[in-house]
Structure 1
Amino acid sequence: MASIAQSRCPVCNADRTEKFRPFCSKRCSEIDLGRWLSGNYAIPTEEVPDDFDSEISDPQCELE
Structure 2
Amino acid sequence: MSCPICSKPTDPAFRPFCSKRCADVDLARWLGGGYAIPSTNPDDAEEAIEAMERSLLGRDATDDDTPPGKPH
Q: Same fold (TM over 0.5)?
A: yes
Correspondence 1:19 to 2:13: yes
Shift of 1:36: 0.3
More helix as a share of residues: 2
CA RMSD of aligned residues (A): 1.9
TM-score calculated relative to the size of structure 1: 0.57
Matches within 5 A, 1:23-34: 23-34=17-28
| Amino acid aligned to 2:18 | C
The aligned residue for residue 37 of structure 1 is 31
Structure with higher RCO (Cα < 8 A, 6+ apart): 1
SS of residue in 1 equivalent to 2:28: helix
Residue type at the aligned position of 2:9: D
TM-score by length of 2: 0.51
Q: Distance in 1 between matches of 2:38 and 2:12?
A: 29
Query: Unpaired runs of 5+ in structure 1?
Result: 1-6, 50-64
Identify unmatched segments of 5+ residues in structure 2. 44-72
Bigger Rg over Cα = 1
Deviations 1:9-45 (A, max 9, x none): 0000000010000000000000000000000002578
